[in-house]
Chain A
């Protein structure tokens, strides 16, 4: 792997983005507003009037929900950027083949791609936290640090879906991944309610999902409350996902593009 080559790959993504940013930027601003309004404020008023505060440790539903949504949004962004665009580069537009005919190598390509996704995740998460603040859902400036676990979570999913998309021969597997993987994780990993509310047999399963670790960290940073496990474990778990998925991605890319 060569640093300049990685930077070139990031640069190429930025150039492509210059052409295609409009659609994604609009949803970057609107989807947090819509979710926080509908779920945080609308549904929140019901939850706060009922049994909610007891199970949420005295938090308003909006305050509980917002950091979770931040990280869940990062997950979706990461998983999205790691799936169809990768399949396109390998199989549809074949631009990865063109890139790899230059001095850029497979590892440069994978790391550069994830580096770009990291930049995009940072942007999406910063916007989200700003909107959270506008809703009064961030306790202090330190709450802005919730961007970090959001980006790490997004990267864990980006790296994993990148490897998976490179492994697949067609995109039906990607639709399946979103329908039976990403959507359930979005709903059941502590974003909308604490995983302690899940049936007991499901709780351990939820704690294997990287999203839950990111949500734990983000909620702790945004609200100044403790995490379930040590923050080091949560961070470490996300990092392991990123590193292992990236290494698997190297192999999958080589199998498809360097045979």
Chain B
């Protein structure tokens, strides 16, 4: 049985349908992602899985239980890293973990052992007795992850774990999550960063406006919806509109964004040479591999982060 299973899962806030009849399954040991822009319904879906928000319609099973019936039991076996920091900033790093462990009814000596291990894991051992308030954003996130692990959950759900962090802090965090995955913890991650989804997820769904528009591994998705390479070209202001028809037939697909043109092709350099042959002179030319961003663009006509 999948660890989490949703059929026609729906969340409504009044007239607004935040999650619109989605189906997905998460297997044990898997690292599963929800990729989508702001407002796609990722948090709403995560809150239902976390048994803190009632399901409006459809079927949802988490760890073999129904969140409407067994909410406390599900939450006992889950770790949650919410989108916003919810640490008690007046308390020390260790005290935050102690309080949390007590909510799970763990005995104090056991919690103390786990605090030492978890702070080591989160690279916060030196800050053990410091107040949370002055910690950096990355440290707070790592502490939140440590806190979510205090009950040794089988399933860890992370809502935008690296949003707002600088690149280095993100890499540290990804590394920690990768280790957890190695230890067999099942991860569910939401993100609006395609690189995060590619780094962390074995399998993901792309969400837009409450609906799932595609599902697969990052590779499968790129293969199914994009080409191997992308040729990105910028033209001087005002020129792009006038030359678009001269790009016809060069690539499998052409995408004109406000500031650049994307040509989807399996051979970027070859296509770039043909562009030059047609006498076009872009200001800049970049050939890169396709990403999930391209998949999203193809499926929705929009970019992930605007």
Residues of A at the B interface (CB closer than 8 Å) are 2, 4-5, 8-9, 11-12, 15-16, 19-20, 93-95, 97-105, 257-259
Contacts and interface: CB of A to CB of B under 8 A. Distances in A.
A105 B100 contact: no
Contacts of B248: none
Contacts of A100: 52
| Dominant secondary structure at the A interface | helix
A173 B289 CA distance: 55
Nearest to A99: B103
B89 A93 contact: yes
13 contacts: A8-B105, A9-B103, A15-B99, A16-B91, A19-B91, A94-B82, A97-B82, A97-B86, A100-B52, A101-B78, A102-B75, A103-B73, A103-B76
A4 B105 contact: yes
Interface string B71-115: 111011010101011111111000100111011110000000000
B240 to A, nearest CB: 45
Interface in B216-237: none
A20 B151 CA distance: 27
B103 A16 contact: no
B73 to A, nearest CB: 7
Contacts of A95: 86-88
Contact of A103 (B54, B85, B104): B104
A16 B71 contact: no
A15 B98 contact: yes
A257 B52 CA distance: 8
B76 A15 contact: no
Given A94-B84, A102-B104, A259 B90 contact: no
A103 B76 CA distance: 5
A16 B88 contact: yes
B72 A103 contact: yes
Contacts of A97: 52, 82, 84, 86
Nearest to A12: B99
B75 A101 contact: yes
B84 to A, nearest CB: 6
B53 interface: yes
Contacts of A94: 82, 84-86
Contacts of A19: 90-91, 95
A17 to B, nearest CB: 10
B91 A104 contact: no
A258 B54 contact: yes
A90 to B, nearest CB: 11
Interface in B29-88: 50, 52-54, 71-73, 75-76, 78, 80, 82, 84-88
Given A95-B88, A98-B82, A104 B52 contact: no
Nearest to B151: A102
Contact of A15 (B54, B86, B91, B147): B91
A97 B43 CA distance: 13
Contacts of B13: 259
Which 8 A-B residue pairs are closest in the complex by CB-CB distance?
A102-B103, A98-B86, A103-B72, A94-B86, A101-B80, A103-B76, A12-B99, A97-B86
A94 B52 CA distance: 14
Contacts of B98: 15
Contacts of A98: 82, 86-88, 100, 147
Contacts of A9: 103
Contacts of A103: 72-73, 75-76, 103-105
Contacts of B105: 4, 8, 103
Contacts of A105: 71-72
